[in-house]
A and B are shown apart, each in its own frame.
Chain A
Amino acid sequence: MTEQTYRDLFDRAGPSPALIEDTLTAAEDRPAGRRVPARRLAAAVLCLAVVLGAVNYQALAAGVQWMVRYFTGVGASAAPVMVVEEADQWTEGNWLCHLDGVSQGDYLLLELYLVSPEEEAHQLATRKLQVYADGVPLEQGDQVYSEWLPYGGFAPQGQPWISLAGLDCGPEVVWKEEGYQARVHMPFLYKLPEEMPTELTYELLDLEEGGSRTGSLTLISVEAQAAWSDSRTFAEGTVTALVSEDGRQLSVYAHQAENEDGLLLTGASLFHHQVTFIGASGTRYPDAGEGFRSFTSGHVNVQLAAAPSWVEEPIVAVEIGAIQLVYEYDTWWDGLGGGMVRTQDTVTYGDLEWVISFT
């Protein structure tokens, strides 16, 4: 009964002629292939390392657990979260390009990925992205810029290519399965106008090779309910974890407040392998690796981890093993044109054993 009925049902389904024509049109509309030859740059990467004094963070971690009936916004505190409705994708020669984004409060984070079928080791990619709302260019954000330049003064500032072999979460997983081998990730940050736009246009410039691409993006609101919440306070500030009612989704956000040393905590990132969902039987399930926004810009910090969809038993607890905090502070710059400069840095806390239990 079932098998034949199943076949009879699906025999009647198929793509409409309009869908086929739309697909052909979309294929024709894609930008003409423009190979951007990788350019060898003798990369001198400047690293500003700030070593914090050893802190007994477990003693500082003051956990207060409570239940929240309703919470709006994924990973947000009071700031509303919007996401790009549909990521823009195109090709440049053999490269696949993918532009996606999320906004939180007044800031918009756009993330450009270039994916290559070849290992692009030791190369840097450079781009400038101008974004417009109603034809007016958006202001560049702080700390993360709207351009990755070939040279900033004396040093190249492009983003390095990374092999996909070692990445096992996020959009990279699918690209890896499709045979791509390396990717570049370029984040861009903008300040949104008071009147929150939902329609944006952009122009992406290749500053080294010339050429540009224009396109549009639509922002839509997202809403999620969190039933459980738990906070921890570290030397840099407080982080709150939010868990959905069924325990299957976890998000974290940083309380953006300045501490007495003038240090401002701006973001918190989860690590894929450091999130564990615990079932009623005691079985521990790793994060599914999908839905992550692991990049923390300093103003946009949307994080999401989820239990694997194949887990059938109820989830009774979530454990966070490690977390990375992003913070800003003023520091003295001795170099040319010296003076106080705003600096962003990160610190990672491991062995947290931060368990949020729902029982």
Chain B
Amino acid sequence: MGEDAGLRQAMETYGDMVYRLALAQTQSSHDADDVFQEVFLRYLRSAPAFREEEHRKAWLLRVTVNCCKKLHGSFWRRHTVALSEAIPAQNQEEQELLSLLEGLPQKYRAVLHLYYYEGYDTGEIAVILGRSPNTVRSQLARGRALLRDAWKGAEEL
């Protein structure tokens, strides 16, 4: 398979996954576009030979998080766009969740997304992100508590 055909196939298979994680982490469609492109160009440029498909997926997730971190670290290049502009809410519940996510600190976003959306357990997330399982468990617990508390608070209003 040629390089470009391989790239197209990788984007077809994993494009949604990479884009959604980038959007969850950056909360900006502009930044998610940049990260998406950077991730797949890196994939073409420097991805190792994967023995298993699961390894390819994990590599893409990790590079996505690294690209988001790099974008975030570069504070003078950061965009600020509300997540609700990228995914308009279709009902009140979604609107409330979007508001909560927009207030969620960046460090909890990738862990929550990989857990809620991609269905990984904390051990798998630790391997993907290169963090300790304890750190991931603590970030997940803290992130969920923040969402739960804020959700509860909003319901009580």
Chain A interface residues (CB < 8 Å from chain B):
1-3, 5-10, 12-16, 19-20, 22-24, 26-28, 30, 74, 83, 85-86, 89, 91, 96, 117, 171, 174, 177-180, 222-224, 249, 288, 290-291, 306, 309-310
| A14 and B16 contact, CB distance less than 8 A | yes
| A179 and B93 contact, CB distance less than 8 A | no
- A12: chain B residues at CB < 8 Å are 87
20 cross-chain CB contacts under 8 A: A1-B93, A2-B97, A2-B148, A9-B87, A15-B19, A19-B36, A20-B11, A22-B37, A23-B36, A27-B4, A27-B40, A28-B4, A89-B41, A177-B62, A177-B130, A178-B46, A179-B48, A222-B76, A290-B70, A291-B73
Q: Known contacts A6-B116, A178-B63: does B37 contact A23 (CB below 8 Å)?
A: yes
Q: How many residues of B contact A (CB 8 A)?
A: 52
- B40: chain A residues at CB < 8 Å are 23, 27
Give Cα distance in the complex from A186 to B18, angstroms: 33
- A74: chain B residues at CB < 8 Å are 76
Q: Is B44 an interface residue (CB 8 A)?
A: yes
Give Cα distance in the complex from A83 to B77, angstroms: 9
| B45 and A85 contact, CB distance less than 8 A | no
Chain A residue with Cβ nearest B75:
A291
**Which chain B residues in 90-125 approach chain A with CB under 8 Å?**
93-94, 97-98, 105-107, 112-113, 116-117
| A9 and B8 contact, CB distance less than 8 A | no
- B53: chain A residues at CB < 8 Å are none
- B41: chain A residues at CB < 8 Å are 23, 26-27, 30, 89
| B20 and A8 contact, CB distance less than 8 A | no
Give Cα distance in the complex from A343 to B20, angstroms: 53
Give Cα distance in the complex from A180 to B45, angstroms: 12
Q: Known contacts A3-B116, A27-B7, A74-B76: does B93 contact A13 (CB below 8 Å)?
A: no
A-B CB proximity, top 3 nearest: A290-B73, A222-B76, A15-B19
| A15 and B11 contact, CB distance less than 8 A | yes
Known: A2-B148, A96-B46, A224-B75. 19 other contacts (CB 8 A): A2-B151, A5-B97, A6-B117, A10-B20, A10-B113, A15-B33, A20-B8, A24-B7, A27-B41, A27-B44, A30-B45, A74-B76, A85-B77, A89-B41, A177-B130, A290-B69, A290-B73, A306-B75, A309-B107
Contact of B76 among A14, A15, A224 (CB under 8 A): A224
Give Cα distance in the complex from A14 to B16, angstroms: 5
What's the nearest-Cβ distance from chain B to residue A281, in Å? 17
Chain B interface residues (CB < 8 Å from chain A):
3-4, 7-8, 11, 15-16, 18-20, 23-24, 32-33, 36-37, 40-42, 44-46, 48, 62-63, 66, 69-70, 72-77, 86-87, 89, 93-94, 97-98, 105-107, 112-113, 116-117, 130, 147-148, 151
| A7 and B66 contact, CB distance less than 8 A | no
- A30: chain B residues at CB < 8 Å are 41, 45
What's the nearest-Cβ distance from chain B to residue A302, in Å? 11
| A309 and B72 contact, CB distance less than 8 A | yes
What's the nearest-Cβ distance from chain B to residue A291, in Å? 6
What's the nearest-Cβ distance from chain A to residue B147, in Å? 6
| A1 and B15 contact, CB distance less than 8 A | no
| B15 and A14 contact, CB distance less than 8 A | yes
| A7 and B116 contact, CB distance less than 8 A | yes
Contact of A26 among B37, B66, B72, B74 (CB under 8 A): B37
Chain B residue with Cβ nearest A81:
B76
What's the nearest-Cβ distance from chain A to residue B28, in Å? 12
Q: Known contacts A24-B8, A26-B41: does B76 contact A6 (CB below 8 Å)?
A: no
What's the nearest-Cβ distance from chain B to residue A80, in Å? 13
Give Cα distance in the complex from A177 to B86, angstroms: 30
Give Cα distance in the complex from A290 to B77, angstroms: 13
Q: Known contacts A14-B20, A91-B45, A309-B106: does B147 contact A2 (CB below 8 Å)?
A: yes
